[in-house]
Chains A and B, each alone.
Chain A
Amino acid sequence: MSGRWLLLRRLDALWAVPSAAVREVHRGDDGTIVTLGSSSSLQADEVLSMTPELVLRGVPSCLALQPLAGLAVWQGEPVLCIDPTAALPPALRRRAATDTTEERDARDP
């Protein structure tokens, strides 16, 4: 995965979304919403910036982590890089009255 990335913060973690997958960023009643080309949307506490290409490292396969495009580092901080073609990590899913236990746990571990 190459190209620029949109960096955002959610639940105190730094996340990156491929900018090519971003259709819209807007502030809603429930915070900043990033809509992806796939029509899914994610919740951000803060949108930080666009950054040039990140150097992606693989997620250790021996760990049961959520699907990610990889891990990277931006300005000394680790970044969770999202794969827009995969299911969004629960922590990024928009708040809803129908939240599952898993989604609640991801936000309030």
Chain B
Amino acid sequence: MPDSPGVGPTKALLARAGDCWCAIPLDDLRRVLPAVKLHPLPGAGWEIAGLAEVEGEPLVVLNLERLVEAPPGAAADFPVTLVVAAGARRETIGLAADEAGDIVLLDPARASGERRGVAAGELAVGDRLVRLVALGRLGSES
């Protein structure tokens, strides 16, 4: 959806990753969980925070800060996990974040600037500049 500008305003959850605020479209959001215990995934890419167990199911958890190529903030302990649908097949993954904020209405078509990782651009939300997260791009970002 965020890759298809022109669909009009959409609701998104603001989430902080390090010093960067991101907007996760609610269409992609499944659940917001408190911190989950992360287990290592040896040999995985740097964007992967680890593996978790959520209600008896395995969940691969990615580091949102790295996913949107945000400047590194303070060492994170990931107090929030966002369970989302990602990739072309809308598979369930987790995003480790530092804070979940408000739900806002924004227009993806107004996102501008350089694409960074799965961030499709930036747009102003109130007095914040947020990175619009386009999870459909995961696995195909360049």
Residues of A within 8 A of B (CB): 10-14, 57-66, 71-73, 76-80, 89-91, 102, 105-107, 109
Residue of B nearest to A65 (CB): B44
**CB < 8 Å A-B pair total:** 86
The interface residues of chain B lying within 8 Å CB-to-CB of A80 are 41, 51
The interface residues of chain A lying within 8 Å CB-to-CB of B92 are 60
Contact mask B79-102 → A, CB, 8 Å, 1/0? 000000011110111000000000
6 contacts across the A-B interface (CB closer than 8 A):
A60-B92, A62-B86, A62-B93, A66-B44, A76-B53, A91-B42
**A12 & B57 in contact (Cβ 8 Å cutoff):** no
The interface residues of chain B lying within 8 Å CB-to-CB of A14 are 39
Number of interface residues of B (CB under 8 A): 27
* The one of B57, B88, B93 that contacts A63, using a Cβ cutoff of 8 Å: B93
The interface residues of chain B lying within 8 Å CB-to-CB of A65 are 41, 44-45, 48, 60
**A79 & B40 in contact (Cβ 8 Å cutoff):** no
Report the Cα distance A60→B41, complex, angstroms: 14
> Closest CB-CB distance, A43 to chain B, in whole Å?
12
Tell me whether B73 is interfacial, beta carbon within 8 Å: no
The interface residues of chain A lying within 8 Å CB-to-CB of B39 are 12-14, 77-78
Residues of B within 8 A of A (CB): 39-45, 48, 51-53, 56-60, 62, 86-89, 91-93, 138-140
> Quick one: given A62-B138, A65-B44, A109-B42, are A73 and B58 in contact (CB under 8 Å)?
yes
* The one of B41, B52, B56, B140 that contacts A13, using a Cβ cutoff of 8 Å: B41
> Closest CB-CB distance, B56 to chain A, in whole Å?
6
The interface residues of chain A lying within 8 Å CB-to-CB of B91 are 58, 60-62
The interface residues of chain B lying within 8 Å CB-to-CB of A66 are 43-44
Residue of B nearest to A105 (CB): B43
